[in-house]
Amino acid sequence: MRALTGPANAAIASQTVPLCVLIEMELSTTLRLCLAGVNLEYGGHTWTGCGSVGTIDPILDTAGDRKGVRFTLSSVPNDILALALAEPMQGKRVWVSLSIHDPSTYQVVHVEPMFSGTLEQPQISEGEASGTITVSAESRATTFGRPKPVRYIDSDQQRLYPGDTCLRFITSQAQHQDVWPSSKWGRQ
């Protein structure tokens, strides 16, 4: 954990430490959820409280390990399920943070980032009146570990920097054999 501020240290030193998990998903409109029974105001935004219907798998952070996270919302009305089906989630960014609150005023005194990654396709199960949405996210470490195939050729250069033609002859020159005149030619 990073160095904490004075109010955060005081909150941790108290007998009860109010904590809350914050989840921010960068969908077509940013979705901000918190695993509290009430809405939370922080950073100029309202974080919607999911209470007992929202869960998150434990975040295990070990060196060299690239574990993902799974979020679940249960008892979701069918009209919200329809919105979830229409929203393309794969590849969208997600952040999970832990907020520390003042024990007397319950104001946020510190937010500690815990996870960042990209969302995968949701799994949706429907019931008669409500259903369950489960979304997995893979860690940014997994994304960074993937190879990024960029080659030293004109088409990749044009994709990265349109109009830059510095590599247009690279393919034709790669196998080209230069024939130099003999040393006698220069002496004449």
Ordered DSSP codes for 134-147: EEEEEEHHHHHHS-
Number of compact structural domains in the chain: 2
Q: Does one domain contain both 126 and 169?
A: no
pTM of the shown model = 0.67
In sequence order, what are the residues at sequence separation of 6 or more whose Cβ sits closer than 8 angstroms to the Cβ of residue 51?
A: 35, 36, 37
Q: What is the mean pLDDT of residues 106-116?
A: 86
Q: Does one domain contain both 134 and 156?
A: no
Quote the tokens at residue 40. Answer: 């939370």
Q: What is the mean pLDDT of residues 40-54?
A: 84
3-state class (DSSP) for residue 44: coil
Q: Does one domain contain both 108 and 161?
A: no
| Rounded distance between C-alpha atoms, residue 20 and residue 14, angstroms | 16
- pLDDT over 90 for what percent of the chain? 4
Residue 132: band (very low, low, confident or very high) from pLDDT cuts 50, 70, 90: confident
| Rounded distance between C-alpha atoms, residue 114 and residue 135, angstroms | 17
Q: Residue 57: which domain range? A: 6-145
In a domain, 21, yes or no: yes
Q: Does one domain contain both 71 and 153?
A: no
Residue 162 is predicted with a pLDDT of: 93
Q: Does one domain contain both 37 and 111?
A: yes
Residue 163: band (very low, low, confident or very high) from pLDDT cuts 50, 70, 90: very high
In a domain, 82, yes or no: yes
